[in-house]
A and B are shown apart, each in its own frame.
Chain A
Amino acid sequence: MPGALDDLRVIDATGPIGHYAGRLLADLGADVIKVEPLAGDPARLWPPFLPDTPEPESGLLFLLLNANKRGVRLDLADEQGREAFLRLVATADVLIESWSSQEADSLHLIDEALHEVRPDLIRCSVTGWGLDGPSAGLAYADIVTCAMSGVMQLAGFPDGTPEQLPALQSHACASINAAAGILAAVLHRDATGEGQRVEVSAQEALLMAQETAMQGADINGVDRARTGGTGVLPVKMPGLGVYEVDDGFVYAMCTGTAGSGFAGLVRLMTDLGFEHGLDREPYATFIRTSMTTAQVTALLQDPAQSDRVRPLLEEIEAVVSAFFRRYPKETLYVQGQERRALIGAVNGPREISESVQLVAREWFRSIDDAGRGQTLRYPGPPWRLHGTPATLRRPAPLLGEHNMEVFRESGLAPDAIAALTSDGTPAR
């Protein structure tokens, strides 16, 4: 079956911030060529590493985000390198890069130079702060973007530090937005033949992840702060939040109108044979009439009710905590979900890797990485397009693996190709 982008060639000259954008386009069928500096992309040297594999071929993050791409290396600061790069861009529909405006200037890779070789080029810049504005030139790192997009303000315990998002989420969010922007530009080019500039600021790509914090500040002048995951109530809401269980943790959200609510949690206790007493008074009536977050919030705001409600909530919470501690997370998760109770197991890499659902859907895919002499297991694509399915066609490139192949395609002579890597290492 065809890929949605199998007629497109993409030059991916990004650093780590943009790797995932090219990966998404490659998964959709595009021919993506990763362009790296002579020494290789910095993420090649980032731990953790693939065992029994020498540097710079072992960095797992690089391997993950650059599968499905071919790879070349050259020196953009060198005249021949720049010319070879422009030749390559001339054959491409899309260029993704992560240079600041100053870096692009110093490389003489401004829009005009690129337009000359490829007038309908779609050029996408993925940077920390965008290409203009007073912060545009600031030094970038994932945690700095997390901090300056408001998400760290929300995460963590009141007595601890604000916490970053895990696994380089500003890179992920910037890259996903870049892929979306590129596709919108492709639709326009398909219709009109006109290329354009796509611009992503990682800070802006993450701002939406503040949830309600921005609106709370805008509408009520109130800033959210880190609460340790307890939410906004002055008491612990039973059935809401992280609970310690027999072998780890679960997250429960059994206090809304979705799913089977708190009643579903009580049913789960009963069905598992846990003596909870919540079907007796004064709990039964209270649970039947008042155990959503909205109802409890209203009761706590009413001074006449608040004193009656608090001890009840504490007693119910003690039962819920004791219940969760008794059972393993898989039981609570699967049995709970079968009763439409909103419970999620706090899964680590092993549980995700072995997930019954992901395995049944054949989501992980293995590929033979001949260059590294190993078979690697990759997570699947984020969606399943039934008419144009994503494919895993090749492992991440070795450094400079496709110099000869790619530059020959763009019409460069073998000795000119060899000269591109004249730091002593032979071109492959």
Chain B
Amino acid sequence: MTAAPRPLEGVKVLDLTWFGAGPIATRSLANLGADVVRVETGKRPDGLRIAGPKPAGNASLNVSGYYNNYNAEKRSITLDLTTERGHELGLGLVRWADVFMTNMTNRAVRQVGMSWEAVREANPGIVAMYQPMQGMAGPHTEFVGFGAVLSAICGVNYFAGSEGRPPIGVSTNYPDYVVNPMHAVVALLAALRHRRRTGQGQLIDMSQLESSVAALAAPVFAWDNAAEEYRRQGNRVPHAAPHGAYRTRAEGDRSDRWLVLACLTEGHWRAAADVMEHPGWADDPRFASLALRKQHEDALDALIEGWAAGQHGPEVAARLQSAGVPAGLVLNATEILRDEHLQARTYYAYPDHAEAGVRAYDGPGFRLSVTPVELRGPAPLLGEHTTEVATEILGLSPDEVAALVAEGVLA
């Protein structure tokens, strides 16, 4: 652990997020050194505290790997904002904060009295981000959903997978994990910079739909400007061939082993044909240019499928890479956790959590050479820092804290 200062040391973040898209954004701010105070309640805990993965037979709200991964290094205060006293204390946290963030629905924001008007009145200089699914205004502003619902609306389901099969998407709440949280971080850092230069805070209205479409916009842009109908093509792309996943032979307990291969240039294709020990394929008139390979892609893929079926995946992936061809294996999470490249780069962090023990957490998605970005601690227990935050930030006495806990305000 290095002692160098991180870029957001001293920045105070009030975190009213939950589930994925919001918490991952504020987690990233914490990894940059910000002091992130996450408001939760025992009455309605974050759904990810309830969901797993958890150790078998352990239903504690503090051991979900899903929750813990997205909340590392934050402080947790349990505070019921729907009570009058709780709301006053919440506004105290707003006054303390440089940044306010929520990804709750507009309706939930109203229920806890944390509208932009209320937040700005309490702290005119604050940077506040609201991240409801479809933005803070407009005819669909109250529409709700998790990342999987949004995936349908924003195009993931339509764009992914193969023609002739239902558009199941990519089997995750995809926009929640990188696109929406990291777009949020970009906006928050830009607004923080503006604040440091001018003293002015601002409102950021972040529609998760707009953010998601922005990252997936190519087919929409092509429709609007070229009337280009999108076709679902599985693992194919218009600009490369061969390009796909090809099953290789079983390895021990790994019967479902797939090689991926992408020939972006004529050189890649020629080299790949050599590695496949069919150099003649590169001279086959059907495959002599990208346009021809796209035209005869079914035949091309059938040849490669036939070849791959007899190969040892890791060995051919390495041979293709040695020849300069983009290739690799479809890895599962266990293989990734053990991957020597990621281990050499110490991507995963293993902080020790009081209840969950030493568990893997994702590292940051970017690295800085002078001001490190790194995860320095585990996720908080539910309400772990209630007393600490209430006394240090809100100025309550220990007796007041105890009384408010008993009343259900700090609970």
B residues contacting the other copy or chain, number (CB 8 A) = 148
Among A48, A149, A160: residue with most chain B CB under 10 A: A48
Contacting pair B155 A151 (CB below 8 A): no
Chain B residues near A173 (CB, 8 Å)? Answer: 178-179, 182, 215, 365
Q: Which of B73-81, B84-92, B134-142, B389-397 contacts its partner?
A: B134-142
A residues contacting the other copy or chain, number (CB 8 A) = 153
A152 within 8 A of B: yes
- Residue of B with least CB distance to A47: B238
- What string of 1s and 0s marks CB contacts (under 8 Å) between A186-198 and chain B? 1110110010111
Instruction: State the CA gap A398–B52 with chains docked (Å).
Output: 51
Contacting pair A141 B211 (CB below 8 A): no
B53 within 8 A of A: yes
- Residue of A with least CB distance to B219: A349
Within residues 239 to 258 of chain B, which ones have a CB less than 8 A from any CB in chain A?
Answer: 239-240, 243-245, 247, 256, 258
Question: Which residue from A43, A64, A163, A184 sits with its C-beta under 8 Å from B373?
Answer: A184
Given A166-B159, A176-B178, A388-B190, check contact A140 B326 (CB 8 Å).
yes
Nearest CB of B to A275, in Å? 26
Contacting pair A217 B321 (CB below 8 A): no
A157 within 8 A of B: yes
Contacting pair B333 A153 (CB below 8 A): yes
Chain B residues near A143 (CB, 8 Å)? Answer: 235, 237, 243-245, 260, 262, 326
Chain A residues near B24 (CB, 8 Å)? Answer: 208
Chain B residues near A258 (CB, 8 Å)? Answer: 47, 144, 146
Instruction: State the CA gap A124–B228 with chains docked (Å).
Output: 34
B194 within 8 A of A: yes
Contacting pair A155 B157 (CB below 8 A): no
Chain B residues near A412 (CB, 8 Å)? Answer: none
Within residues 196 to 253 of chain A, which ones have a CB less than 8 A from any CB in chain B?
Answer: 196-201, 203-229, 241-242, 244, 249-251, 253
Instruction: State the CA gap A138–B24 with chains docked (Å).
Output: 29
Nearest CB of B to A43, in Å? 8
Chain B residues near A294 (CB, 8 Å)? Answer: 50
Instruction: State the CA gap A58–B406 with chains docked (Å).
Output: 67
Instruction: State the CA gap A229–B154 with chains docked (Å).
Output: 17
Instruction: State the CA gap A211–B28 with chains docked (Å).
Output: 16
Chain A residues near B140 (CB, 8 Å)? Answer: 337, 356-357
A56 within 8 A of B: no
Instruction: State the CA gap A188–B192 with chains docked (Å).
Output: 12
Given A133-B341, A144-B326, A165-B160, check contact A185 B225 (CB 8 Å).
no
- What string of 1s and 0s marks CB contacts (under 8 Å) between A385-425 and chain B? 11110000000000000000000000000000000000000
Q: Which of A33-41, A80-88, A281-289, A358-366 contacts its partner?
A: A358-366
Among A148, A151, A244, A340: residue with most chain B CB under 10 A: A148
Instruction: State the CA gap A185–B224 with chains docked (Å).
Output: 36
Q: Which of A68-76, A266-274, A307-315, A372-380 contacts its partner?
A: A372-380
Given A148-B328, A150-B331, check contact A188 B202 (CB 8 Å).
no
Chain A residues near B327 (CB, 8 Å)? Answer: 139, 144
Say what secondary structure dominates the interface of chain B: mixed
Within residues 122 to 165 of chain A, which ones have a CB less than 8 A from any CB in chain B?
Answer: 129-130, 132-136, 138-144, 146-157, 160-165
B401 within 8 A of A: no
Chain B residues near A172 (CB, 8 Å)? Answer: 179, 215-216
Contacting pair B368 A217 (CB below 8 A): no
Nearest CB of A to B224, in Å? 4
B196 within 8 A of A: yes
Contacting pair A60 B222 (CB below 8 A): yes
Contacting pair A165 B170 (CB below 8 A): yes
Contacting pair A176 B156 (CB below 8 A): no
Contacting pair B337 A348 (CB below 8 A): no
Contacting pair B65 A349 (CB below 8 A): no
- Residue of B with least CB distance to A218: B360
B363 within 8 A of A: yes
- Residue of B with least CB distance to A187: B7
Contacting pair A352 B225 (CB below 8 A): no
- Residue of A with least CB distance to B156: A166
Contacting pair B223 A353 (CB below 8 A): yes
- Residue of A with least CB distance to B366: A181
B311 within 8 A of A: no
Given A167-B159, A346-B152, check contact A188 B186 (CB 8 Å).
no
Instruction: State the CA gap A63–B226 with chains docked (Å).
Output: 12
- Residue of A with least CB distance to B116: A386
Instruction: State the CA gap A221–B82 with chains docked (Å).
Output: 40
Contacting pair B226 A219 (CB below 8 A): no
Question: Which residue from B129, B192, B258, B342 sits with its C-beta under 8 Å from A162?
Answer: B258
Instruction: State the CA gap A418–B187 with chains docked (Å).
Output: 39
Contacting pair A208 B190 (CB below 8 A): no
Chain A residues near B134 (CB, 8 Å)? Answer: 357
Chain A residues near B68 (CB, 8 Å)? Answer: 215
Contacting pair B344 A387 (CB below 8 A): no
Chain B residues near A227 (CB, 8 Å)? Answer: 171
Contacting pair A379 B217 (CB below 8 A): yes
Instruction: State the CA gap A250–B203 with chains docked (Å).
Output: 33
Contacting pair B369 A197 (CB below 8 A): yes
Chain B residues near A374 (CB, 8 Å)? Answer: 225
Chain B residues near A194 (CB, 8 Å)? Answer: 370
Within residues 91 to 127 of chain B, which ones have a CB less than 8 A from any CB in chain A?
Answer: none
Instruction: State the CA gap A133–B360 with chains docked (Å).
Output: 19
Nearest CB of B to A250, in Å? 7
Instruction: State the CA gap A347–B360 with chains docked (Å).
Output: 36
A280 within 8 A of B: no
B330 within 8 A of A: yes
Question: Which residue from B66, B177, B201, B330 sits with its C-beta under 8 Å from A152?
Answer: B330
Question: Which residue from B243, B264, B365 sits with its C-beta under 8 Å from A205?
Answer: B365
Within residues 170 to 207 of chain B, which ones have a CB less than 8 A from any CB in chain A?
Answer: 170-174, 177-179, 182-187, 189-194, 196-197, 200-207
Instruction: State the CA gap A220–B329 with chains docked (Å).
Output: 23
Question: Which residue from B153, B359, B368 sits with its C-beta under 8 Å from A184?
Answer: B368
Chain B residues near A340 (CB, 8 Å)? Answer: 144
Given A50-B226, A346-B157, check contact A379 B209 (CB 8 Å).
no
> What would 13 A/B residue contacts be, using CB atoms closer than 8 Å?
A147-B330, A155-B161, A166-B160, A173-B179, A186-B193, A196-B368, A207-B362, A216-B52, A333-B153, A337-B142, A361-B138, A363-B210, A387-B201
With A204-B345, A225-B332 given, name 10 new contacts (CB 8 A).
A45-B239, A147-B328, A196-B369, A214-B337, A215-B359, A251-B151, A253-B148, A259-B144, A361-B135, A387-B191
Across the A-B interface, give the 3 residue pairs with the lowest CB-CB distance, nearest first: A215-B65, A387-B202, A229-B168
